[in-house]
Amino acid sequence: MSLPENWWLLAMTVAGQAVFFLRHAILRFHTKEVQPFPRWALVCGWTGTGAGMAYGAAQSDPVFVTGQACVAYILFRLQRQE
């Protein structure tokens, strides 16, 4: 099994969204309350989403692009709540 042509975009997607999710999950587990997202966590989320949309466009995968668009909408809503 070989890596896809744009594997680095997929790696950026996974890393950015993993950091965003882990920050939220760890703080939620320890404090039991919702706290606003710091700027660096939103940047990780947006970076992962942008890389995911670029990867989906490069692979001509409409399902992947649609999923990343949904994540972008959620990030946009989270950013506006602050």
Which residues, including other chains, have CB under 8 Å from residue 80's CB and lie 6 or more apart?
none
pLDDT, tens digit, for every residue of 9-32? 888 888 988 888 888 788 777 777
pLDDT greater than 70 at residue 82: no
pLDDT, tens digit, for every residue of 26-62? 877 777 776 777 888 888 888 999 999 999 999 999 9
Confidence (pLDDT) at 20: 85
The pTM score is 0.77
Confidence (pLDDT) at 1: 77
Confidence (pLDDT) at 66: 94
Cα–Cα distance for residue pair 10/52, rounded to 1 Å: 6
* CB contact at 8 A, 54 and 9: yes
Kindly give the residue spans of alpha helices, DSSP state H, lying in the chain: 7-31, 39-58, 62-81
